[in-house]
Amino acid sequence: MGSEGLGGAAQQVQWEQPHPGPAPGRLGPAQRAADWERLRDELFDILVIGGGVVGSGAALDAATRGLKVALVEARDLASGTSSRSSKLFHGGLRYLEQLEFGLVREALRERELMLTRLAPHLVKPVSFLYPLTHRIWERPYVAAGLAIYQTLGGDRSVPGQAHLTRAGALRLAPALRRDSLIGGVRYFDAIADDARHTMTVARTAAQYGAVIRTSTQVVGFRREADRICGVRVRDCETGQEADIEAHAVLNCTGVWTDEIQRLSGGRGRFRVRASKGVHIVVPRDRIVSESGLILRTATSVLFVIPWRNHWIVGTTDTGWNLDLAHPAATRADIEYLLDTVNTVLATPLYEEDIEGVYAGLRPLLAGESEETSRLSREHAVARVAPGLIAIAGGKYTTYRVMAADAVDAAVPDLPGRVAPSITDKVPLLGADGYHALVNQADALAARHGLHPYRLRHLLDRYGSAVHHVLALATGRRELLAPVPEAPDYLKVEVVHAASHEGALHLEDVLTRRTRISIEYPHRGEACAADVADLMGEVLGWDAAQRHREVEIYLARVAAERDSQREPDDSAAATRRAGAPEARPGLLTPVS
């Protein structure tokens, strides 16, 4: 294997096998057991509810300020909105039209930080073509907008805008219908695998001492007089309950914010409503283009985003007041996406082209009161009671700023002086040494008998933590083989997900640690049994438990497929609700 990788530099470098030592921020079964004891026995400065990007960011922010912090997540890291976004780190061109320059500047600063210092292994530049359809006014209008976008971005590691004639735009994106544009403008933003990024933020927090525990649901609050002094949690695997004491509790639960607020018994300062956004995933060869596309729609924009060997097309924007954990895409959502993208494609996309579909819920602020401390138009943070902070709204790109704001808001509840946020100087796990490893990729690939392409793929998922992944295959070369029916991933990645990345169920690996559920038309069905066997080795599953995991996953896929044939939200949600939860002890609803 990997003969192309054995030439040139690879043969000259005397590669010294680095001994990876214990993995930092390891989230495995032993850690999980020990963390339950810690949650029960210790007093924390900050207890974070929610393992989405905001909660994980808050845990990292607090831990790196020297605070003692724990995070509890009811399901899996990023299992809510943070695995279901458009995956862009961007300023948001539409905010420019609303003259929200401050917001755009803040988001672009975050984009730059991610690309250069904090997560260069996970966040990559991505090109977009904006097809022009109106003569005379549109080009200068878009050019001026993008010039401001670039200027607000300050230092930037992505190329600036480029203006294209119709012929030039069609050379870049031959898939476009000739009569769908009169020219185009190309610009760059950035993209990341959101679920992997969130999990990496959480593991980085664990590396700095935070307790990170998934399948741990907040089911009640502890009070002393009018003060919140902790929470009651339930282990969603065993049904066991315990109390956790903390000086301050941060509600970082996105679309569940109101539910947690109700559970706390107090009135919130703002409310959060959910808006559903659906994406479809199609094979890369179905749209011939060297660039992503951004298309104007009647109310917003539609993105066609390059994603490995695929395109992600999205998104919709409709209100949702049904099951928050399982937003369901309908036939109407899918038809809207196909119809919209087909207005510009020379060869239309059909339903049969779709490899995957996913739906997520935007946590939008609603009903803010005057007392709300509004740190920006995009997110709100408030000390809703002594000892309880709520933060919501915003977007993925600005999670680090939101996290810092949430911890700042908790300062009055914390004993002693609290250091300012330093997360703009804290690279995520795997970032240190990443660039050097990219240059050494051929040699490292040869060392492990892998194709350099495969090694680079691993580096973009794990960065310098790749050593810990590959070390698991020492003496077990069979783990360096691809996952059957999902060859983009190696078997060792599944083992690593269970032993180091906190994956507890088949769906955690098939939908978030890998993206097999949206990248393959079989949606994970064809490899579920193999993946269960690999996970089961680490998690101690017997044959019955492996069987149960596979059955639950297959039921989930079947329910999602069924829901996607339904005409409306209510019918689709009913179909989706037919599948059982993987976490046997989860309370839905929580109160």
Ligand X SMILES: Cc1cc2nc3c(=O)[nH]c(=O)nc-3n(C[C@H](O)[C@H](O)[C@H](O)COP(=O)(O)OP(=O)(O)OC[C@H]3O[C@@H](n4cnc5c(N)ncnc54)[C@H](O)[C@@H]3O)c2cc1C
d(CA 512, CA 214): 14
Shortest Å, Cβ 45 to ligand X: 18
Sign of the torsion formed by the C-alpha atoms of 225, 228, 230 and 234:
positive
Asked if residue 82 binds ligand X (CB under 6 A), the reply is: yes
Shortest Å, Cβ 523 to ligand X: 19
d(CA 296, CA 542): 52
Nearer to ligand X, 81 or 204 (CB): 81
Nearer to ligand X, 51 or 387 (CB): 51
d(CA 128, CA 302): 12
d(CA 305, CA 120): 19
The residue count for binding ligand X (CB under 6 A) is 40
Part in contact with ligand X (CB under 6 A); list of ranges 18-26, 78-86, 141-149, 472-480: 78-86
Nearer to ligand X, 57 or 427 (CB): 57
Q: Where are the beta strands (DSSP E) in 225-367?
A: 227-235, 241-251, 271-283, 292-296, 301-307, 310-314, 318-320, 356-366
Hey, which residues between 321 and 360 contact ligand X (CB under 6 A)? 360
Part in contact with ligand X (CB under 6 A); list of ranges 81-89, 286-294, 517-525, 550-558: 81-89
Part in contact with ligand X (CB under 6 A); list of ranges 62-70, 79-87, 221-229, 340-348: 79-87
Asked if residue 88 binds ligand X (CB under 6 A), the reply is: yes
Binding mask 173-212 for ligand X (x = CB under 6 A): ----------------------------------------
Asked if residue 51 binds ligand X (CB under 6 A), the reply is: yes
Hey, which residues between 247 and 266 contact ligand X (CB under 6 A)? 252-256, 260
Show Cβ contacts of residue 543 under 8 Å, excluding neighbours closer than 6 positions.
none
Asked if residue 511 binds ligand X (CB under 6 A), the reply is: no
Shortest Å, Cβ 81 to ligand X: 4
Show Cβ contacts of residue 146 under 8 Å, excluding neighbours closer than 6 positions.
93, 161, 185, 187
Hey, which residues between 354 and 373 contact ligand X (CB under 6 A)? 360-363
Binding mask 561-590 for ligand X (x = CB under 6 A): -----------------------------x
Shortest Å, Cβ 525 to ligand X: 24
d(CA 162, CA 178): 19
Shortest Å, Cβ 317 to ligand X: 8
Asked if residue 86 binds ligand X (CB under 6 A), the reply is: yes
C-alpha distances out from residue 344 to 105, 206, 282, 315, 354, Å: 31, 46, 16, 16, 18
Beta bridge partners of 88: 191
d(CA 134, CA 182): 7
- Rounded to 10 deg, the angle between the 101-113 and 138-152 helix axes is 60
Shortest Å, Cβ 240 to ligand X: 15
- The closest alpha carbon to 381, from 402, 398, 360, 401, belongs to 402
State the alpha helices, DSSP H only, in 265-383: 331-342
Asked if residue 268 binds ligand X (CB under 6 A), the reply is: no
Asked if residue 72 binds ligand X (CB under 6 A), the reply is: yes
Shortest Å, Cβ 401 to ligand X: 11
Show Cβ contacts of residue 589 under 8 Å, excluding neighbours closer than 6 positions.
259
Binding mask 270-309 for ligand X (x = CB under 6 A): -------x--------------------------------
Asked if residue 53 binds ligand X (CB under 6 A), the reply is: yes
Shortest Å, Cβ 39 to ligand X: 12
Nearer to ligand X, 184 or 254 (CB): 254
Sign of the torsion formed by the C-alpha atoms of 201, 207, 212 and 214:
positive
Nearer to ligand X, 59 or 510 (CB): 59
Shortest Å, Cβ 315 to ligand X: 4
Hey, which residues between 219 and 248 contact ligand X (CB under 6 A)? none
- Rounded to 10 deg, the angle between the 441-448 and 452-462 helix axes is 110
What DSSP designation does 254 have? G
Shortest Å, Cβ 445 to ligand X: 32
Among 310, 395, 400, 491, binds ligand X (CB under 6 A): 395
- Reported as type and span, the H/E element at residue 191 is strand 183-191
Nearer to ligand X, 233 or 469 (CB): 233
Asked if residue 315 binds ligand X (CB under 6 A), the reply is: yes
Among 27, 54, 70, 249, binds ligand X (CB under 6 A): 54
Amino acid (1-letter code) at residue 459:
L
Among 74, 108, 365, 495, binds ligand X (CB under 6 A): 74
Instruction: Report the SS3 class of residue 91.
Output: coil
Q: How far is CA 484 from the centre of its chain?
A: 25
Structure tokens given for 524: 């994970």
Instruction: Report the SS3 class of residue 504.
Output: coil
Part in contact with ligand X (CB under 6 A); list of ranges 74-82, 118-126, 483-491, 511-519: 74-82
The residue number whose beta carbon is nearest to ligand X equals 52
Nearer to ligand X, 50 or 145 (CB): 50
Asked if residue 49 binds ligand X (CB under 6 A), the reply is: yes
Burial of 205 (0-12, 13-18, 19+ CB in 10 A): buried
Place of tokens 């214990």: 22
Nearer to ligand X, 153 or 254 (CB): 254
- The closest alpha carbon to 18, from 398, 465, 411, belongs to 465
Beta bridge partners of 312: 281, 305
Write out the residues near ligand X by the rule CB under 6 A. Answer: 49-55, 72-75, 79-82, 84-88, 90, 217-218, 252-256, 260, 277, 315, 360-363, 394-397, 590
